[in-house]
Amino acid sequence: MFLNFRKTHLILGLWILLQQGVYGQDGRNLTTGSIIPDETYSDQPYIVKTNDGAWLCVLTTGSGHEGASGQHIITQRSFDQGKTWVDKREVEPADGPEASYAVLLKAPSGRVFVFYNHNTDNIRAVKADNPPYKDGLVKRVDSQGYFVFKYSDDNGKTWSPQRIRIPIRNFEIDRKNPYGGTIQYFWNVGRAFTYQGAAFVPVHKVGGFGVGFFTSSEGALLRSPDLLSVSDPTKATWNTLPDGDIGLRTPDKVGGPIAEEQNFVVLSDGSFYCVYRTIDGHPVYTYSRDGGHTWESPQYLRYDNARLVKHPRAANFAWKCENGKYLYWFHNHGGRFIREHPDRRNMAYEDRNPAWLMGGIEADSPKGKIIRWTQPEILLYDDDPLIRMSYPDLIEEKGDYYITETQKDIARIHKIDHKLLAGLWEQFDNRTRTKEGLVLDWVYQKEGLPHTLAAPTLPVFYKRDTQKLEQPGMNVPNGFTVDLVFTLNKATPNQILVDARDSQGKGWYVQITPQKTVELVMNDGRTQSSWACDEGLLTENQPHYLSIIVDGGPKVVAFVVDGLLNDGGETRQFGWGRFSPYLKSAAGASHLTVGKKLTGTISQLSIYNRALTISEAIGNYRAYKR
Which residues have CB under 8 Å from 466's CB, separation 6+? none
pLDDT at 10: 37
Query: Comparing 605 with 132, which gets the higher pLDDT?
Result: 605
Asked if the model's pLDDT at residue 59 lies above 70, the reply is: yes
pLDDT at 129: 86
Asked if the model's pLDDT at residue 239 lies above 80, the reply is: yes
Instruction: Name the percent of the chain lying above pLDDT 90.
Output: 94
Question: Binning pLDDT at 50, 70 and 90, where does residue 24 land?
Answer: low
Structural domain for 527, as ranges: 438-625
pLDDT at 131: 75
Question: Do 311 and 369 fall into the same domain?
Answer: yes
Average pLDDT (587-592) is 97
Question: Do 256 and 274 fall into the same domain?
Answer: yes
Average pLDDT (54-67) is 96
Compute the distance between CA of residue 112 and CA of residue 156 in angstroms, rounded to an integer. Answer: 7
Average pLDDT (207-232) is 97
Average pLDDT (570-587) is 97
Q: What is the pLDDT of residues 466-497, one digit of tens each?
A: 999 999 999 999 999 999 999 999 999 999 99
Average pLDDT (579-605) is 95
Q: What is the pLDDT of residues 2-13, one digit of tens each?
A: 333 333 333 333
Average pLDDT (551-558) is 98
Residue-averaged pLDDT of the chain: 95
Q: What is the CA radius of gyration of the chain?
A: 26
Question: Do 347 and 467 fall into the same domain?
Answer: no
Compute the distance between CA of residue 461 and CA of residue 154 in angstroms, rounded to an integer. Answer: 50
Asked if the model's pLDDT at residue 597 lies above 90, the reply is: no
Of 169, 44, 7, 20, nearest to 477 by C-alpha is 20
Average pLDDT (45-69) is 97
Average pLDDT (377-390) is 97
pLDDT at 608: 98
Phi, psi torsion values for 458, nearest 5 degrees: -100, 150
Instruction: Name the percent of the chain lying above pLDDT 70.
Output: 96
Question: Do 142 and 166 fall into the same domain?
Answer: yes
Question: Do 506 and 365 fall into the same domain?
Answer: no
Question: Do 418 and 488 fall into the same domain?
Answer: no
At 166 the three-state DSSP class reads strand
3-state secondary structure 81-125: CCCCCEEEEECCCCCCCCEEEEEEEECCCCCEEEEEEECCCCCCC
Question: Binning pLDDT at 50, 70 and 90, where does residue 134 land?
Answer: confident
pLDDT at 626: 87
Compute the distance between CA of residue 546 and CA of residue 486 in angstroms, rounded to an integer. Answer: 8
3-state secondary structure 519-576: EEEEECCCCEEEEECCCCCCCCCCCEEEEEEEECCCCEEEEEECCEECCCCCCCCCCC
Average pLDDT (519-548) is 97
CATH number at residue 166: 2.120.10.10
pLDDT at 447: 74
Compute the distance between CA of residue 369 and CA of residue 182 in angstroms, rounded to an integer. Answer: 39
Give me the number of domains the chain comprises. 2
Of 149, 161, 30, nearest to 101 by C-alpha is 149
Asked if the model's pLDDT at residue 86 lies above 90, the reply is: yes
Question: Do 595 and 494 fall into the same domain?
Answer: yes
CATH number at residue 480: 2.60.120.200
In a domain, 4, yes or no: no
Q: What is the pLDDT of residues 179-213, one digit of tens each?
A: 999 999 999 999 999 999 999 999 999 999 999 99
What is the value of pTM for the model shown?
0.94
In a domain, 120, yes or no: yes
Of 300, 297, 245, nearest to 277 by C-alpha is 300
Handedness of CA 430, 433, 434, 437 (dihedral sign): positive
